[in-house]
Amino acid sequence: GNNMAEKSISKRIEELNKSVDWFYGDEFELEKATDKYESSLKLAKEIEKDLQELENKISVIDKNFAAEE
């Protein structure tokens, strides 16, 4: 199913939002900040990759529609 990919994107974005909130929240600890930062960065890169793949799929659909006309 194609829905899995989209679900994982929104899950990752949700995770990333939580990480970012952590930096501004009361639970912030300097000792953990580096780890959190690195995992947030990794998440952001994965989201970027997912969106790139989605974009590619959309442009394929776009081409198919253009061919139909």
Q: Quote the pTM value.
A: 0.74
Q: Please state the φ and ψ torsions of residue 27, each to the nearest 5 degrees.
A: -85, 0
| Whether the Cβ atoms of residue 48 and residue 68 lie closer than 8 Å to each other | no
The DSSP annotation for 23-44 comes to HHSTT--HHHHHHHHHHHHHHH
pLDDT band for 2, please (50, 70, 90 cuts). Answer: low
**What does the alpha-carbon distance between residue 55 and residue 22 come to, in Å, rounded to a whole number?**
30
As a whole number of angstroms, the distance between CA 10 and CA 12 comes to 5
- Check pLDDT > 70 for residue 3: no
Q: Is the pLDDT of residue 1 over 70?
A: no
Question: Residue 69: what pLDDT?
Answer: 79
Q: pLDDT tens digits, residue range 11-61?
A: 999 999 999 999 999 999 999 999 999 999 999 999 999 999 999 999 999
